[in-house]
């Protein structure tokens, strides 16, 4: 299959498919690396979200004026996945006036968030996006390169699409437990898109609802705290998209700008392959990964309107050298 997408900044040049990269990359970099935006690039696939694309999507996508926030309750989850610390929250009262402040201490990846390019590297090559090394993050050659401040300056505005696996599974009679490893296959993703009438476009922001957050809310309402404790394990079992060669090639060649879901790792966890999808998405391709995004209200609005595409907006933290960011995400249908 030849390249099909035009380079957004180099007129007449096509963007490469993954196989072309694998066939041409030199030694010393991951064979799947798509460091194609220049040696100084710090925003990866956000380059796809050009002014022309943002203008077009802003005008074409909102049809109903419905706004949906993807930001989960800051106090949840009670036990953040991968052993991360829970939120510490305090309200302070001014003793001299009717004035209050609040203080939030929280790991940026303990709730609705986006993994940045400093979070996860290509393990076997010991390198992160665009050649970034650990030495540049916490070592003597520390810099701000590829930190969240770059994504904050660019912003994330584009066409979002939702694939609702929960509704699809109900229709197909698929039984699964979101708190156990279940790999959503590429065939299922394509079937969901066809079921919903979704046509993917260049630079789409792909969101997948798995039901993990829905179950979390149900178990929390039942007061079953013991069942929730396992979600905070250092390597939790959870639903997500399945690893594999077919998924890897599809994720790259569709040229999604951002991906995300309502579960702890976007991909099914633990990974069933030696190299997980985080290594490709973040380190090789520069694709931000959204995790624990609250997709429940969005799914309801998509289902009621029959429209599964929308204007997506997020303002990442302007944190110099930051590893991740709270989602700060809104969708407009």
pLDDT at 259: 98
Shortest CA distance to 209 belongs to which of 241, 252, 250, 177? 241
Share of the chain above pLDDT 90, in %: 94
Distances (CA, A) of 325 to 117, 177, 205: 11, 28, 17
pLDDT at 27: 87
Q: How far apart are CA 55 and CA 151, in angstroms?
A: 19
Average pLDDT, the chain: 96
Within 8 A by CB and 6+ apart from 263, the residues are 178, 210, 212, 213, 238, 239, 240, 291, 292
pLDDT band at 7 (very low <50, low <70, confident <90, very high): confident
The values of phi and psi at residue 81, to 5°, are -60, 160
pLDDT of 269-288, one tens digit each? 999 999 999 999 999 999 99
- Domain locations in the chain as residue ranges: 13-86+101-332
pTM above 0.85, yes or no: yes
pLDDT at 3: 65
Residue pair 294/213 in contact (Cβ under 8 Å)? The answer is yes
In this predicted structure, the answer to whether residue 219 has a pLDDT above a threshold of 90 is yes
In this predicted structure, the answer to whether residue 2 has a pLDDT above a threshold of 60 is no
**DSSP category for residue 85:** P
pLDDT at 198: 97
pLDDT band at 1 (very low <50, low <70, confident <90, very high): very low
Mean pLDDT, rounded, for 250-254: 98
CATH number of 13-86+101-332: 3.50.30.50
Residue pair 212/323 in contact (Cβ under 8 Å)? The answer is no
pLDDT of 90-140, one tens digit each? 999 999 999 999 999 999 999 999 999 999 999 999 999 999 999 999 988
Share of the chain above pLDDT 70, in %: 99
pLDDT band at 12 (very low <50, low <70, confident <90, very high): confident
Residue pair 69/329 in contact (Cβ under 8 Å)? The answer is yes
Coil, strand, or helix at residue 27? coil
Helix axes 165-172, 186-196, angle to 10 degrees: 90
Cα Rg, the chain, nearest whole Å: 20
Within 8 A by CB and 6+ apart from 176, the residues are 169, 182, 211, 239
Residue pair 24/36 in contact (Cβ under 8 Å)? The answer is no
The values of phi and psi at residue 218, to 5°, are -65, -45
Structure tokens at 90: 């305090």
∠ Cα 166 309 287 (to 5°): 85
Shortest CA distance to 83 belongs to which of 264, 224, 258, 255? 264
Of the chain, the end-to-end C-alpha distance in Å amounts to 33
Structure tokens at 306: 């029959």
pLDDT of 145-178, one tens digit each? 999 999 999 999 999 999 999 999 999 999 999 9
pLDDT at 139: 86
pLDDT at 13: 85
Mean pLDDT, rounded, for 24-46: 95
Q: How many CA atoms lie within 13 A of 208 on its CB side?
A: 30
pLDDT at 28: 84
Mean pLDDT, rounded, for 56-84: 97
Element (H, E) at 330: strand 329-332
Residue with token string 């796809």: 48
């Amino acid at each position: 299959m030849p390249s099909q997408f035009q380079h957004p900044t180099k007129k007449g040049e096509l963007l490469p498919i993954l196989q072309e990269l694998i066939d041409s990359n030199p030694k010393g970099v991951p064979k799947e690396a798509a460091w194609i935006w220049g040696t100084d690039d710090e925003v990866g696939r956000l380059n796809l979200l050009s002014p022309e694309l943002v203008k077009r999507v802003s005008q074409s996508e909102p049809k109903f004026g419905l706004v949906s926030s993807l930001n989960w309750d800051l106090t949840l989850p009670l036990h953040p996945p991968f052993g991360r610390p829970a939120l510490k929250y305090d309200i302070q009262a001014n003793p001299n006036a009717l004035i209050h402040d609040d203080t939030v201490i929280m790991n940026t990846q303990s709730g609705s968030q986006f993994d940045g390019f400093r979070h996860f590297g290509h393990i076997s090559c010991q390198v992160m996006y665009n050649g970034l090394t650990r030495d540049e993050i916490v070592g003597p050659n520390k810099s701000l390169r590829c930190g969240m401040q770059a994504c904050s300056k660019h912003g994330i505005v584009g066409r979002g699409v939702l694939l609702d696996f929960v509704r699809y599974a109900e229709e197909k009679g698929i039984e699964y437990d979101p708190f156990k490893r279940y790999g959503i296959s590429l065939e299922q993703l394509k079937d969901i898109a066809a079921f919903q009438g979704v046509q993917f476009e260049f630079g789409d922001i792909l969101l997948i609802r798995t039901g993990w957050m829905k179950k979390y809310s149900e178990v929390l309402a039942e007061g079953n705290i013991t069942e929730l404790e396992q979600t905070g394990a250092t390597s939790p079992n959870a639903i997500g998209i399945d690893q594999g060669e077919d998924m890897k090639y599809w994720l790259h060649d569709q040229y999604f700008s951002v991906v995300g879901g309502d579960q702890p790792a976007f991909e099914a966890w633990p990974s069933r392959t030696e190299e997980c999808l985080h290594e490709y998405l973040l380190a090789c391709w520069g694709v931000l990964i959204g995790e624990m995004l609250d997709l429940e209200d969005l799914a309801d609005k998509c289902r009621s309107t029959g429209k599964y595409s929308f204007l997506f907006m997020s303002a990442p933290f302007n944190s110099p050298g930051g590893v991740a960011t709270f989602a700060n995400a809104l969708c407009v249908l």
